[in-house]
Amino acid sequence: MKTINILEEQAGQRFDKFLIKYFNNAGKSFVYKMLRKKRIKLNGKKAEGNEILIKNDCINMYISDETINILRKNITIEKSDMDFSIVYEDENIIICNKPKGLIVHPDNTKKSNTLNDQLIYYIYKKDEYNPKDESAFTPSICNRLDTNTSGIVLFAKTLGASQALNFAIKNNLINKYYKTIVYGNVNKKGIMKGYHIKNDLNKVVIYENFIEGSKEVFTKYKPLKFSKEFTLLQIKLITGKSHQIRAGLMKEGFPIVGDVKYGNKLINNKFKEKYGLSNQLLHAECVVFNNMPSKLSYLNSRKFIADTDNMFKKIEKDIFGNI
């Protein structure tokens, strides 16, 4: 029999989710079968799986060590680059500044050296994460940015931090501000409203009225600087859907400079010729924490800013001067 005693940093998660992560080389059906057959018990009693684990809970596994070893895939940490910079770090979280061109999580085109890989390798080198322990929690990123959007990404080192950040994001307790340069003159602040949906070409469309399958989105914007043809905008996300800012600004007639998918092709070509720009000038610049869950309550009212890269700075200065 194998026994696992739940530590404080493991508490707060559902029992079945803990087991599914623990037996990472087995399917969900195996976990529920073991619970039904009472081959896995919680505190010596039959469990359903929906129990919330608390500190000092005892998990009893009446499964051979050989079987457990087969059903637990070894997690290996590959050496990764450190393309990101750190805005803030403590024992619970990392707020990092992601450069453009770095993918956040693996996809069909990129399997390794993602931002998540880089952050895990970073804390592994600091002896803050050991993939061989039995916590069944792997540190991870809690928000996403498009590959060619730069700026702030939030990374949870612990289960408690992950739960707190995900709760805060879901309930709009973290104000997220972006900086972008758009084609056109935006002379007053406003809010973009609409209904967000992806079409058959995997491109986001924002409609005025609800259509089946769409989700309502809200985006606030405020002009910061003007020129004859361009505006530097501050964007505040109220909702957080894929390509919400990019598609929304295109719909309003103010496409983001450099945005290949939603931008103005003629304008993009001019910036590519002059600056070598091949990505949207969109940067997640700032986060402000409000009413955070107790685990991260010490972050309340704190503001963190990530600087733009040199190309963004140069283009901003060339268009708007030092105003």
Per-residue pLDDT reduced to its tens digit, 47-67: 999 999 999 999 999 999 889
> Are 222 and 123 contained in the same domain?
no
pLDDT band at residue 308, thresholds of 50, 70 and 90?
Answer: very high
290 within a domain of the structure (yes/no):
yes
Domain-terminating residue out of 109, 144, 170:
170
> Are 300 and 208 contained in the same domain?
yes
> Are 180 and 299 contained in the same domain?
yes
Whether the pLDDT of residue 8 is over 90: the answer is no
The percentage of the chain sitting over the pLDDT mark of 90, rounded to a whole number, equals 82
Residue 151 pairs in a beta bridge with: 98, 284
79 within a domain of the structure (yes/no):
no
Q: Under a CB-based contact definition with an 8 Å cutoff, are residues 244 and 204 in contact?
A: yes
> Are 125 and 54 contained in the same domain?
no
Contacts 24+ apart (CB under 8 A), 307-310: 307/97, 308/150, 308/179, 308/283, 309/99, 309/100, 309/150, 309/283
> Are 162 and 216 contained in the same domain?
no
76 within a domain of the structure (yes/no):
no
> Are 8 and 103 contained in the same domain?
no
> CA dihedral defined by 7, 13, 14, 17, rounded to 10 degrees?
-90
Question: CA-to-CA distance for 210 and 208, rounded, in angstroms?
Answer: 7
> Are 291 and 204 contained in the same domain?
yes
22 within a domain of the structure (yes/no):
yes
Residue 12: CATH number of its domain = 3.10.290.10
Residue 310 burial (CB count, 10 A): 8
292 within a domain of the structure (yes/no):
yes
> Are 284 and 166 contained in the same domain?
no
The pLDDT of residue 110: 65
Domain-terminating residue out of 170, 200, 232:
170
The pLDDT of residue 295: 92
Whether the pLDDT of residue 69 is over 90: the answer is no
Report which of residues 106 and 261 the model is more confident about. Answer: 261
How many domains in the chain? 3
> Are 162 and 258 contained in the same domain?
no
Report which of residues 322 and 188 the model is more confident about. Answer: 188
| Average pLDDT for the chain | 93
Residue 158: CATH number of its domain = 3.30.2350.10
Burial of 166 from C-beta contacts in 10 A (0-12 / 13-18 / 19+): middle
> Are 118 and 246 contained in the same domain?
no
285 within a domain of the structure (yes/no):
yes
- Structural domain including 311 reads 174-320
Whether the pLDDT of residue 307 is over 80: the answer is yes
Whether the pLDDT of residue 278 is over 90: the answer is yes
Whether the pLDDT of residue 200 is over 80: the answer is no
> Are 185 and 287 contained in the same domain?
yes
The pLDDT of residue 136: 73
Domain-terminating residue out of 13, 46, 71:
71
Give the residue among 107, 204, 118 at the shortest CA–CA distance from 147. Answer: 107
78 within a domain of the structure (yes/no):
no
Q: Under a CB-based contact definition with an 8 Å cutoff, are residues 256 and 280 in contact?
A: yes
Question: CA-to-CA distance for 263 and 257, rounded, in angstroms?
Answer: 6
Arithmetic mean of pLDDT, 281-300:
97
Q: Name the phi and psi angles at 86, rounded to 5.
A: -100, 125
Question: CA-to-CA distance for 165 and 307, rounded, in angstroms?
Answer: 22
Residues in CB range of 222: below 8 A, 6 or more apart: 189, 233, 234, 236
> Are 105 and 163 contained in the same domain?
yes
The percentage of the chain sitting over the pLDDT mark of 70, rounded to a whole number, equals 98
214 within a domain of the structure (yes/no):
yes
